[in-house]
Amino acid sequence: MTLDEESTQTTAVRLRAALTRVPAYKAGKPAAPRTDLTAYKISSNENPYPPLPSVLDVVRETATEMNRYPDMAVTDLTGRLAEALDVAPECIATGTGSVGVLGQIIAATCDPGDEVVHAWRSFEAYPIVVALAGAESVLVGLDDQQRHRLDAMHAAITDRTRVVIVCTPNNPTGPGVTHTELARFVERVPEHILVVIDEAYVEFVTMDDAPDAVGLQRAHPNVVVLRTFSKAYGLAGLRVGYAVGSPLVAEALRKTAVPFGVSTIAQRAAIASLDAFDELEVRVKDLVAERERVVAALRDQGWEIPDSQANFVWFPIGEDALPFAAACADAGLSVRPFEGDGVRVTIAETEANDRLVEVAGQFRSRP
Ligand SMILES: *Cc1c(COP(=O)(O)O)cnc(C)c1O
């Protein structure tokens, strides 16, 4: 039965009222197949490089164990992360991608009617995860450079606030907050409110005064840092992310996790990726160099592209978002438009990046 057919079937099942306020997640579209040219999906900030051979080997070997449940405590990966980050293993909690971990955070902190302060526009999963808990997103607009306004976010805190999320670098707009700003902000947030620092793109950050979020966590038990293997590590399809927080917070996140959510394949692939960090870092550096090249070329064309510290660029073009995305689609590029606001484009293969610059140039000089 398709979803449409299902909708004609009446039911007396009572669903939570909160569900009506949960926005649908619009995933980046796959690129429409083309016979005339290579189509590229540059709509989900995925890593364009195929898995490393060493990681694939581990995945293949581990496939023979899929009749078994994974290690629920994620012991080996947790130990490796703790060592790499110089924190105690008790401070780490894993989940099915960092979006999964964010769901664990909200489930652990928010009752219906509680508030979560975050920037907007920011990661579109935030309002979904918050609304699912029956909690309220308090949206704080970005400044004219597409950056978080941390003072305004601080001013938005009320008696109902349980969580504040700082997305740095910010998806989909690109800039990061500085360590100085973030440290000052964390100092001022009341100790009972959890400050989530979402660092999904941390490996791509090259700015001066970049945040040391794990350092801030060590000094402030109400800080929790979110990281993922989906972006720089190229494991988006395996769903593994983690949080670094105080032992109490990390324990709460283990309680609210999907049991056995992180598969053995994902756990071992993540360890193999940590082992292969040097190889992955070369790829990250290439993507960062491509990002700088694309941003410079677009600015030369006259586009006002904000600073990007991640693996994507943001076109803040308002009403032109859908027409520009359509022009990209015509050229075989599936990008991510946010209607009335802008378009986010992932930095990917050189050919995809070149084609983006070409389409963007044509779009600007259209009659
Ligand atoms: C991609 C992304 C994530 C990570 O998603 P996973 O669930 O780990 O795949 C988290 N936060 C932001 C801002 C992202 O863009």
In order of start, what are the domains of the chain with their CATH numbers?
Answer: 25-45+278-364 (3.90.1150.10), 53-275 (3.40.640.10)
Report the separation in Å between the CA atom of 302 and the middle of ligand 1, taken as the mean of its atom positions.
30
Residue 236: predicted pLDDT: 98
Q: What is the pLDDT of residue 90?
A: 98
- Looking at residue 76, its amino acid is D
The radius of gyration of the chain from alpha carbons, rounded to an integer in Å, stands at 21
Closest ligand 1 atom number to CA of residue 96 = 7
d(CA 214, CA 232): 18
CA 170 to chain centre: 9
b/e per residue 105-140 (b: at least 16 CB within 10 A) = bbbbbbeeebbbbbbebbbbbbbbbbbbbbbbbbbb
Ligand 1 centre and the CA of 351: distance in Å?
25
The answer to whether the beta carbons of residues 154 and 133 sit under 8 Å apart is no
Residue 83 phi/psi, 5-degree rounding, is -65, -45
- Residues with Cβ within 8 Å of 99's Cβ and at least 6 positions away in sequence, in order, are 125, 129, 241
Q: In this structure, which residue's CA is closest to atom 7 in ligand 1?
A: 97
Atom of ligand 1 nearest to the CA of 123: 13
**Ligand 1 atom with least separation from CA of 241:** 8
Give the model's pLDDT for residue 30: 83
Distance, CA of 140 to CA of 314 (rounded, Å): 19
Each residue's pLDDT expressed in tens, for the chain with a length of 367 residues? 555 555 678 889 999 999 998 988 888 888 888 899 999 999 999 999 999 999 999 999 999 999 999 999 999 999 999 999 999 999 999 999 999 999 999 999 999 999 999 999 999 999 999 999 999 999 999 999 999 999 999 999 999 999 999 999 999 999 999 999 999 999 999 999 999 999 999 999 999 999 999 999 999 999 999 999 999 999 999 999 999 999 999 999 999 999 999 999 999 999 999 999 999 999 999 999 999 999 999 999 999 999 999 999 999 999 999 999 999 999 999 999 999 999 999 999 999 999 999 999 999 998 7
* CA dist 359 → 262, 354, 355, 356 (Å): 40, 9, 6, 5
Specify the DSSP class assigned to residue 49: S
Backbone angles phi, psi at 56, to 5 degrees: -60, -40
Shortest-distance Cα residue to atom 15 of ligand 1? 171
Interatomic CA distance for residues 207 and 226, integer angstroms: 19
**How many whole angstroms from 156 Cα to the centroid of ligand 1?**
24
Q: What pLDDT is stored for residue 23 in this prediction?
A: 86
CA dihedral angle for residue 292, residue 298, residue 300, residue 306, rounded to 10 degrees? -70
For residues 217 and 86, what is the distance between their CA atoms, to the nearest angstrom? Answer: 12
Q: Which residues line ligand 1 (CB under 6 A)?
A: 45, 97-100, 123, 167, 171, 198, 200, 228, 230-231, 236, 241
CA of 239 to the centre of ligand 1 (A): 10
CA distance linking residue 240 with residue 36, whole number of Å? 36
> Within a 10 A sphere around the Cβ of 296, how many other Cβ atoms?
11
Distance 228 CA to ligand 1 centre (A): 7
Residues facing 243 on adjacent strands: 93, 226
Separation of 175 CA from ligand 1 center, angstroms? 16
Q: How many A from CA of 229 to the centre of ligand 1?
A: 9
Residue 320 confidence (pLDDT): 98
Atom of ligand 1 nearest to the CA of 229: 8
Helices (H), the chain: 3-6, 53-63, 75-85, 97-109, 125-132, 150-155, 179-188, 213-219, 247-255, 264-275, 277-300, 321-330, 350-364
Residues in the chain: 367
